[in-house]
Amino acid sequence: MSTGIHIRLATPEDSDAILQLIIDLAVYEKAPDAVKATPKLLRNNLFEKQYAHALLAMSGDKPVGLALYFFNYSTWTGRPGLYLEDLYVAPEYRKLGIGKAFFGELGKIAKETECARMDWSVLKWNQPSIDFYEKKLGAKPMSEWMGMRLEEDGIDSLQGFSLEAGASESNIQSQRK
């Protein structure tokens, strides 16, 4: 990238900057109060437990973009996949090729980890991003699928569906330890 911008892996020291980029994304997506993440949660879940990973676009030493991803698994392909949870570029740095560069790096990671595919979601009203994904990347919408979600209360209610309802720890939980 000839703009002086580069992409690098995030480190634990970037947790505050990652959180700010997440907040900026939430504002762009018209959900500024939805962010519950904290620097401590990010450090724990990204860098200690490694549930997800982050790339940062840097202009000098200023973070100007974020790609946050994790690996999933496809039973049909028998291989991992890369799921892009969030992609954000600060407005003043858009149209400089940062989004394409993020996808270039993610593509390298997907190939290195033998991923069969990459997936992500985009808000239906976000036409600039949809156009970018379809026209620049050649991505195809998955109109036959509908996203589903349970929040924390819904997850808690799943305990009632266990064959061992009421047990303090299931066999599966003890086997995972």
Catalytic residue set: 133
Instruction: Return the closest-CA partner of residue 72 out of 37, 108, 118, 104.
Output: 118
Measured between alpha carbons, how far is 153 from 107 in angstroms, rounded to an integer?
35
Distances (CA, A) of 150 to 45, 121, 154, 155, 173: 19, 16, 5, 6, 20
Residue pair 54/10 in contact by the 8 Å Cβ criterion:
yes
What tokens were used for 129? 């991003």
